Amino acid sequence: MNYNIKEFKESVKGKKVAVVGIGVSNAPLIEMLLNYGAEVIACDKKEDFGELEEKFKNKNVKFFLGKDYLKGVLNSDIIFRTPSLRPDNEYLKIAKEKGAYVTSEIREFLKYCPAKIFGVTGSDGKTTTTTLIYEMLKEEGYRVFLGGNIGNPLLNRIEEIDMEDYVVVELSSFQLMDVDYSPNVSVITNLSPNHLDIHKGMDEYINSKKNIFLYQKLNDIVILNEDNEITNSMKGEIRSNIRTFSMKDSNAFSYFDGQNLICNNNVICNVKDVKLIGMHNIENLLAAFSAVYGFVSLDSMRKVATNFTGVEHRIEFVREIDGIKFYNDSIASSPTRTVAGLKSFNKKVILIAGGYDKKIPFDELAVEGIDKIKTLILMGATKEKIEKAFEDEMEKRNINIPILKVDTLEEAVKKAYNLAQSGDIITLSPACASFDMFRNFEERGKKFKEIVMRL
């Protein structure tokens, strides 16, 4: 069924529309809704929005801020929830019972976007894979829009997008929880325990990810990681076309043979020509190849694969001082992501880790990472949990690595620098979210780089 943006305009005109969360994606959404004739109610637990609040108050936006911010949704016709607010929140349930339509910025975009959409989700590698797909489509000469969880809102730009354009969106489990429209080409990079502080359990987390393909049409495409047990087990639920990628199985649509990256029996490039660091990025390239095959030429795939150097905050080289190299891997907000980062280096590193507690275990970080770490410096709410996991593993193996606990990122960097010798690598790869000390992983990464540049 093809939906037209005119329908969306008509659906919001004259309606009371509550927007929960006045963050990056929702400020442009509020502007759009006002332009379409909606009465906007802006709700946020933060109490002060300064100039933004003044600007919107002058346009008759009603504000519900602070502790009781969700009371603003109760008399609304339409509610746009922020991804971090669960769809089964008590206030949303009451509003729904009163007849409100509950949705989100990304859900409405997936419903009304006229262009072909490539969607990427997973526990690790989402942003790099999303960016690789975007770069390959762009290299081919298409007009491409990039957004979603990567930080760019798209619904407010929908009238700029034509049928012959392409859109690439990164999708988090929170965005996908109540989505009932799927992208045309959907990628699941891998799945492992994550965000169990908000999801009710691993099953809910996995089920939310499945929404990326459950509503596809028969001629749409799903890309699955053959090597990941959870994604591989989803094949029976898929009605559309399946393409797999693998680091070892030559029967996969895209695979790595130990030397070459191969897609549908075509050698795209040699691993030595890839500039991205780490074997997890070879996986990300294989996923991207599987997604864009048939849409772009092999040359476009090859050019991006051999020239792309990475995305900020992802094993990003910051600086070398007296032979000591600093890397910013602030994106690593899960143990599996940190392990992948550690395996990217060919020597033991001084690791700075720890942060907000997402209620996920750190045993895997200790088991897989202990041989890759020279010294472990821990900070944030999870430092004791991570220390315990490593102490248990050290006792099992009868080995010892120094563990230091600090209170701030600045203290962590200075301690690491004072301990390091020429030839050492210091990497910030937290294995945790940043919310105990920072607004997001970007702010954490930028702060790390600032501290390193001041050394």
**DSSP letters for 90-140:** HHHHHHHHTTPEEE-HHHHHHHH--SEEEEEE-SSSHHHHHHHHHHHHHHT
| Domains, the chain, with CATH or none | 14-103 (3.40.50.720), 107-307 (3.40.1190.10), 316-454 (3.90.190.20)
SS3 290: helix
Is the separation of the CB atoms in 291 and 144 below 8 Å? Answer: no
Is the separation of the CB atoms in 43 and 64 below 8 Å? Answer: yes
C-alpha–C-alpha distance, residues 61 and 433, integer Å: 33
C-alpha–C-alpha distance, residues 292 and 297, integer Å: 9
What's the predicted TM-score (pTM) here?
A: 0.79
CB atoms within 10 A of CB 147: 21
C-alpha–C-alpha distance, residues 196 and 79, integer Å: 25
Residue with structure tokens 């130990």? 258
- Cβ-Cβ contacts under 8 Å for 227 (sequence gap 6 or more): 190, 246, 247, 248, 249, 283
Determine the number of helices (DSSP H) and then strands (DSSP E) in the chain.
16, 20
Q: Dihedrals φ, ψ of 256, to 5°?
A: -110, 125
C-alpha–C-alpha distance, residues 20 and 18, integer Å: 6
C-alpha–C-alpha distance, residues 444 and 440, integer Å: 7
Is the separation of the CB atoms in 107 and 117 below 8 Å? Answer: no
- Tell me whether residue 92 is exposed, middle or buried, using C-beta atoms within 10 angstroms of its C-beta: 0 to 12, 13 to 18, 19 or more: buried
If residue 144 lies in a helix (H) or strand (E), which one and from where to where?
A: strand 144-148
pLDDT value for 313: 87
C-alpha–C-alpha distance, residues 131 and 128, integer Å: 5
CB atoms within 10 A of CB 184: 18
Which residues of the chain carry a pLDDT beneath 50?
1
Whole-number percent of the chain with pLDDT over 70: 97
DSSP letter (8 states) at residue 313 = T
Beta bridge partners of 356: 433
pLDDT tens-place string over residues 44-63: 998 888 788 888 888 989 99
- Cβ-Cβ contacts under 8 Å for 403 (sequence gap 6 or more): 375, 376, 377, 378, 387, 390, 391
Is the separation of the CB atoms in 305 and 404 below 8 Å? Answer: no
C-alpha–C-alpha distance, residues 346 and 343, integer Å: 7
Beta strands per DSSP E along 264-413: 266-270, 316-321, 324-328, 349-353, 373-378, 403-405
Is the separation of the CB atoms in 107 and 183 below 8 Å? Answer: no
pLDDT value for 197: 65
Reading across the β-sheet that carries 16-20, which strands appear in turn?
62-65, 39-44, 16-20, 78-80, 101-103
pLDDT value for 336: 87
